[in-house]
Amino acid sequence: MLKRIFIPNRGEIAVRIIRACKELGITSVIGYSEADRESLPVMLADEKICIGPASPLESYLNIPAILSAIEVTGADSVHPGYGFLSENPFFIEVCQSSRIVFIGPRPENLRLMGDKSEARKTVKKGRLPVIPGVDSLVDIEDARKQAKKIGFPVIIKASAGGGGRGMRIAHTPDEFNAYWPACQQEAKIAFDNPSLYIEKFIERPRHIEIQVLADEYGHILAFPERDCSLQRRHQKLIEETPSPAVDACVRRKLQKIARKICRIINYKNAGTIEFLMGGRHVYFMEMNTRIQVEHPITEMITGFDLVKNQIEIASGEKMRYHHRFVPFTGHSIECRINAENPARDFLPSPGKITKLVLPGGPGIRVDTHIYEGYVVPPFYDSLLAKLISYGRTRQEAITRMQRALNEMKIEGISTTIDFYKVVLDHPVFQSGRYYVGWLEKLLNDMKNKQAVGSAAGG
C-alpha cells in the first residue's frame, strides 16, 4: 500500500481523497494555492504545502511547482482528482520518471482516449457502435462536403477536448458555415489544436455513461449506468442511476461494450465510457480517463468506494470483487450545487457564506468543502457541493432529494438550489422522459415567462 499521497487539487474532490486516505491509513498531503489557504482540504489533510498563487496556471497546473512540493514532502504518489492535471499524459510521464506513482491510468490511455478522433477510430476497429462522423478536419471546404454526406443536423466538436468548448449544432449548411470558424478558434484557444470532427446529431438523445474499474491482473468491472442528460451548455447539472430510460437488456449491452473497450486499450484504474442513446440504439461518444464528479451516485447503489479502489489498484492490489457486471440496489440522484445565479444566466457568485445549513437524514449524502464563513474564491470552478439522495425506488430518491433541497440553506451568495427545486417538481423530470437539451428548453421557457410577466407588470 502507498504511504503518502500528494493531492494537487482543491474543493470537494480534495476532501474526498483525504477521507479515503484516512480510512486506508495513508498520510494525505495537500498542495494548495494561496487563495485556498483557509479551505477545508487544508484543514483536514495531514500535511499541507503552498504550490503557488491563486491563478491555476501558477499553482494547480504548475508541474514544476507540484513536483518540487512532492519531493519536499516525501510523497510516494499523487492523486490528481478530476480537472487540472488529471488528464495530462506529460504530467504522468514526469511522475513515472521520478518514481512517483500516479493514481490513475497510464499516459498512453490518456493520449489515445483524450483525442476524440483517435478514440472513435479505436472503437470502430473493435466493431463497436459509433455515431456516423468524420475525424480530424481542418479545412472548411472538406468539412462542408463531409457534413452533406452525413446529413444535417450535425454536431461540430473539438478533436482534442471536451467541456462544451468548440462545440456547435448545425441544422443547415448556412449554420455550418457560420459555426465552423468559431469552433476552430475556441478549440485552438482551449486545446492548442484547431482540428475538429463532425458527427450526425441525434435528436433528443440520452447521455449515458458506464463506470469502469480495471486492475493490473486483467479484472474489469462494469458498473450500472449513470444518466447525465440534464445539462446546460454541455455541463452536467443533475445525474441519476440507474437511468429511467435503460432496461436490463440495454444495460448489459452497455456494460459489455465498456468492458471490451477497456480490453482493447488495456486500460487500468478508474474510468468512464460515455454513450449517446437514441431509442434503444447506443453509440460510443468518448472516454473520461479519471474519476468523475458524479461518482458518488454509483457508490450509493453499489456500496463501492471508488476512490479507495483507485488507490488500491495503483498500489498493485488485486480487486477482491471479480464479477464482471456489478449488481446494485435502489436509486440515487445527484444535484451539483453551484455558486451561480440562475436568474442572471448562471453568472458566477463568489463571496462569503454567511449562513450554512446542510441537510441530512435517511438516504442523504453531502460531499462539500464549504463551511459557514468560508469565502468562495472567484478563480475556480463554481461547484460548492454535491447533494446526493438514495432511495429504494426512484420516487423515494426524488422525494428525499426534494426534502434535502428544502433543508439546505446557503446565504451570502447565489446558488442553484432553488432552480433544482423547480426541475425536480417538473412533470417531465418526474416521468423520467427528459433528454439532452430538455433543461435548456426549460430555462428558455422560464425566461420567456419572466419576460412576459415583466412586460405585463410594466
How far lies 271's CA from each of 3, 123, 221, in Å?
24, 16, 11
* Ordered alpha helix ranges (H), 138-273: 140-150, 173-191, 248-265
3-state secondary structure of 158: strand
CA–CA separation, 114 and 94 (whole Å): 18
C-beta separation of 234 from 70 below 8 A: no
To the nearest 10°, report the CA torsion of 197, 202, 206, 210: -40
Which residues are marked as active site? 290
Cα(first)–Cα(last) distance of the chain, in Å? Answer: 67
Beta bridge partners of 31: 49
Distance CA 185, CA 397 (A): 42
Q: How many CB atoms lie within 10 A of CB 346?
A: 19
> Widest CA span of the chain, in angstroms?
69
Evaluate whether 6 touches 77 at the Cβ level (below 8 Å).
yes
Q: Which three cell numbers stand for residue 389?
A: 439522495
Distances (CA, A) of 380 to 33, 83, 164, 210, 288: 11, 11, 17, 28, 21
